[in-house]
Amino acid sequence: MPKLLECVHLKKFFQLGNHLVVKALDGVSLDLNQGETLGVVGESGCGKSTLARTLIRLYQPDEGQIFFEGKDIAKLQERDLTGVRRNFQMIFQDPYASLNPRMPIGEIIAEPLDVFREKKLIQISKKEIQKRAKELLELVGLSSHFSSRYPHEFSGGQRQRIGIARSLALSPKLLICDEPVSALDVSIQSQILNLLEKLQKELNLTYLFISHDLSVVRHIADRTAVMYLGKVVEIAPSKMIYEKPLHPYSKALLSDVPIPDPQKEKKRQRIILKGEVSSTHKRDKGCCFQDRCFLKTEICERIEPPLEEKENGHLSACHHYEKLL
């Protein structure tokens, strides 16, 4: 399966004050194959959204490479990025805040096409743009007759469908889904997830799916990457991570996921992580998870464990992963 997107040793720092630097991304390397869904999970503040925005150059990376279809886009100038950007789009977390309340939804969906038409990057008439907007509404399960209505006339789930339709306007190859169902009712979440899976099959889309909800990622992702303090600490096919995690942080996260079987739920042993999440600007050596790890030894304080393959297709950054087997 060909690689669509790959990042190598990606770093993104934010300056807070005169001397404080936050390492939002600290040497992240991962790849995304054409047609697959890569889930990215972790606590709030671990760098998930920063990773997504850096990969599609909404943020300028400080170090590292980003290959899209084999071309390094990390250092492209803004004028050269415009043509590339039609290939990746984003679905935002909040369907209420991501749509312009003053525009009818037909214009919202058509806006990317209008922008690229004005820049002469695509050849399409205004009549064709209007037709395309109505087709996209039908594609996401809404009536084309709604195109003259405004966002406030729709429910949260319907607004997210409108956001998905807008993201598909330029026929992208990659969709960045930044917690696209976390603001929705549970009953609506499954509908949106099923829609995303349907669109992926029909349009051969590739997803980077960000979430803090492991049960959602388990449902939709082919592979899962676990992030902690700006680093990927584990990455593997989703089934492997959920059945046999090889990093103590992943183990702790999974221990908190409810099990629908009452008998198994009674026997489930939760792992309560002690201590506070350390600040990235304070860490200078050793494992990023050492302050909260229940497997910590002296080597964890001195040497940072590399993210490397422990089993077939299963990568982990832990000195003591064998203790989890």
Find the CATH number of the domain harbouring 286. 3.40.50.300
Q: Is the pLDDT of residue 280 over 60?
A: no
Residue 212 lies in a domain: yes
Q: Is the pLDDT of residue 1 over 80?
A: no
Q: Is the pLDDT of residue 101 over 70?
A: yes
Strands 71-72 and 63-68: antiparallel
Quote the number of domains for the chain: 1
Token pair recorded at residue 174:
């990659």
Give 285 or 13, the one with higher predicted confidence: 13
- Indicate left, alpha or beta for 27 from its phi (over 0: left) and psi (-120 to 50: alpha): left
Residue 158 lies in a domain: no
Give 273 or 85, the one with higher predicted confidence: 85
CA distances from 323 to 21, 86, 248, 308, 320 (A): 34, 46, 9, 17, 6
Grade residue 53 by pLDDT with cuts at 50, 70 and 90: very high
Residue 39 lies in a domain: yes
Helices (H), 41-104: 48-55, 78-85
According to the model, what pLDDT value does residue 275 have?
A: 66
State the average pLDDT over residues 292-309: 93
State the average pLDDT over residues 81-109: 91
Question: Contact at 8 Å (CB) between 175 and 119?
Answer: no
Residue 298 lies in a domain: yes
Residue 16 lies in a domain: yes
Mean residue pLDDT across the chain? 90
State the average pLDDT over residues 251-278: 74
Q: Is the pLDDT of residue 105 over 80?
A: yes
CA atoms within a 13 Å half-sphere pointing along the CA-CB vector of 172? 26
According to the model, what pLDDT value does residue 278 have?
A: 64
According to the model, what pLDDT value does residue 22 have?
A: 87
According to the model, what pLDDT value does residue 273 have?
A: 78
Residue 219 lies in a domain: yes
Give 8 or 213, the one with higher predicted confidence: 8
Residue 204 lies in a domain: yes
Grade residue 18 by pLDDT with cuts at 50, 70 and 90: confident
Token pair recorded at residue 106:
């037909």
List pLDDT tens digits, range 111-152: 999 999 998 889 999 999 999 999 999 999 999 999 999 999
Residue 102 lies in a domain: no
Task: Indicate the pTM of the whole model.
Answer: 0.92
Q: Is the pLDDT of residue 173 over 70?
A: yes
List pLDDT tens digits, range 182-207: 888 888 999 999 999 999 999 999 99
According to the model, what pLDDT value does residue 80 have?
A: 84
- Boundaries of domain holding 256: 3-87+172-324
According to the model, what pLDDT value does residue 265 have?
A: 64
